[in-house]
Amino acid sequence: MKILDVTSKSFESEFKAVLARGKMDMKEVSSIVEGLLNEIATNGLEALKSHIARFDSWQANSFEDICITPSMCLKAYNELSSDLKNALKLAYDRIYAFHQKQKPQSWIDCEDNGNILGVKVTPIERAGLYIPGGKAAYPSSLLMNAIPAIVAGVKEIVVCSPTPHNNPNPLLLGALHLCGITEIYKVGGASAIGLMAYGIKEIKKVDAISGPGNIFVACAKKHVFGEVNIDMIAGPSEIGIIADKHANAKYIAYDLLSQAEHDEMASSILISDDSALIESVKSHIEHILPSMPRVAIAQKSIANRAVMIHTRNLQESIDIANALAPEHLEVFTLNPAEVLPYIKHAGAIFLGEYSSEPIGDYLAGPNHTLPTGGSARFFSPLSVEHFVKKSSIIAFSAQALKQVGSSCVALAQCESLDAHAQAVLARLDSMKINKE
């Protein structure tokens, strides 16, 4: 594992490389993705069947073959153990309760002069959710993407997820049943994004797409933005941890490894002003890593993307964390609540040693679809807001127009937009005539 020291002459250049961790070179895959999207847009179902055979190693012979039915989901749910059913239900309820608090409300403001101004909040009609399914199945991602849409009031929710060798994951099917989703397709990658964004003869296009995925999925989402709305362009998972001498090294080691096992490109970053803690965490990782079931993935991630940064003090640790703007940020210090006001950029903030990042992944309540690669500087977690749109309401009275109309005319004339000015003047003139 790399250990960087802020006092080193090479720190600035080494830290720049860490800051650049989120740069996904889409140039290499852009032409491939564009070709796949064009095939979906042009050839519809035939292109889908071809892509499934190519990428998921099974042959779909008809439209029905790519569909997952509600009865399949019900059967899978009924066959889950009681423990898994209870865990899914607990996660669902906690995530729902949290997102219910986010639901925006329409509002109307009536002014004394008769003006009515406001905002009308309307759920989008049709949402598309992408749920990864290549290296592993992620029922938790389904819950995190479906529940905000359900809370928002979206009537039609479409789910696409790859099913290598045509073997749908039973837990994912059970989660689909729990969410009440009935339109599900066994399609993955850029093909799924194209299917949802453009639609085909058999499937209507959606209005917005959300959900994580690999570089092909991210690139496809970037291509279709504007045709539909998207949540964000997310990259590999990452965690940053601010820790002082009071932190538990074993806890930190496991939390760093919890990201490393996601993906070879995942980033695990420890920031501490205590060199003894850094060495202890490093030792724990070296001890734990060989026994991990996903050791091959985690080992590459730790070797190539993990970093431990030794700082001079807690404030410097905070400054470095803000510069990183990590997807997940854990604060394991003596008084983590005192650190919170100084955190400017992070997708999700975990305070205290019992707030392990995996709790946030599954059932704390807040969404785990988060900005990565430093984009937490300007992106927010997936929320109910993604699945609604807002319309401004403007209802002017004659009295109100009379009060502000001349100012509106002046601004329109200043911009040389004569029809704009005349549209208001015509109404003002009518008021004068009527008054006379």
pLDDT tens-place string over residues 215-266: 999 999 999 999 999 999 988 999 999 999 999 999 999 999 999 999 899 9
Residue 23 is predicted with a pLDDT of 80
- Strands 107-110, 116-123: parallel, antiparallel or unpaired by DSSP? antiparallel
**Among 39, 327, 330, 353, which one carries the catalytic annotation?**
327
CA distance 13 to 115: 58
Q: Kindly tell me if the per-residue pLDDT of 50 is higher than 90.
A: yes
Question: If residue 231 lies in a helix (H) or strand (E), which one and from where to where?
Answer: none
End-to-end CA, the chain:
85
> Mean pLDDT score of the chain, rounded to an integer?
96
The confidence band for 432, taking pLDDT boundaries of 50, 70 and 90, is: confident
CA-to-CA distance for 387 and 408, rounded, in angstroms? 34
Q: What is the pLDDT of residue 336?
A: 98
- Whether residue 420 is annotated as binding a ligand: the answer is yes
Query: What is the rounded average pLDDT of the residues 163-192?
Result: 97
**Distance of alpha carbon 187 from alpha carbon 134, whole angstroms:** 11
CATH architecture type of domain 2-24+235-364: 3-Layer(aba) Sandwich (3.40)
pLDDT at 73 over 90: yes
Please check whether the two domains, 2-24+235-364 and 26-234+384-389, share a CATH topology: yes
Q: Look up residue 237 and give its two tokens.
A: 């998972």
Q: Residue 249: left if φ>0, alpha if ψ -120 to 50, beta else—which one?
A: alpha
Backbone torsions φ then ψ of 109, nearest 5 degrees:
-125, 120
Q: Which one-letter amino acid corresponds to residue 124?
A: I
- The residue written with tokens 């008021």 in the block is 431
237 is in an annotated binding site: yes
Annotated catalytic residue, options 99, 328, 368, 386: 328
Told to judge if 327 belongs to the known catalytic residues of this protein, a careful annotator would answer yes
Average pLDDT on 85-104 reads 98
Nearest of 214, 288, 212, 299 to residue 260 by alpha carbon: 299
Q: What is the DSSP letter of 144?
A: H
Q: Are 346 and 269 in contact (CB under 8 A)?
A: no
Tell me the mean pLDDT in the region 294-315: 97
- Whole-number Cα distances in Å, 258 to 91, 200, 250, 312, 320: 19, 39, 12, 27, 22
pLDDT value of residue 285 = 98
What is d(CA 48, CA 29) in angstroms, rounded to the nearest whole number? 19
Categorize the per-residue pLDDT at 107 as very low, low, confident or very high, splitting at 50, 70 and 90: very high
CA distances from 48 to 38, 170, 199, 215 (A): 11, 23, 11, 19
Does the pLDDT value for residue 135 go beyond 70?
no
Q: Is 386 marked as binding a ligand? A: no
Query: Which two three-digit tokens encode residue 48?
Result: 């889908």
Among residues 268, 293, 296, which one has the least CA distance to residue 282?
268
d(CA 305, CA 73): 38
User: Domain boundaries in the chain?
Assistant: 2-24+235-364, 26-234+384-389, 398-434
Fold of 26-234+384-389: Rossmann fold (3.40.50)
pLDDT at residue 110 is higher than 80: yes
pLDDT number for residue 26: 87
**Greatest Cα pair distance in the chain:** 92
Calculate what percentage of the chain has a pLDDT beyond 90.
93
Question: H-helix or E-strand containing 114?
Answer: none
Residue-wise pLDDT tens digits, 345-386: 999 999 999 999 999 999 999 999 999 999 999 999 999 999
pLDDT of residue 436: 57
Q: Rg for the chain (alpha carbons), in Å?
A: 26
- Look at residue 334 in the predicted model and tell me its pLDDT: 97
To the query of whether residue 111 is one of the catalytic residues in this protein, the response is no
Q: How are beta strands 67-68 and 328-332 bridged, if at all? A: unpaired
CB 177 within 8 A of CB 90: no
Length of the chain equals 436
Tokens 């994004």, residue?
A: 193
- Tokens 């785990």 map to which residue? 368
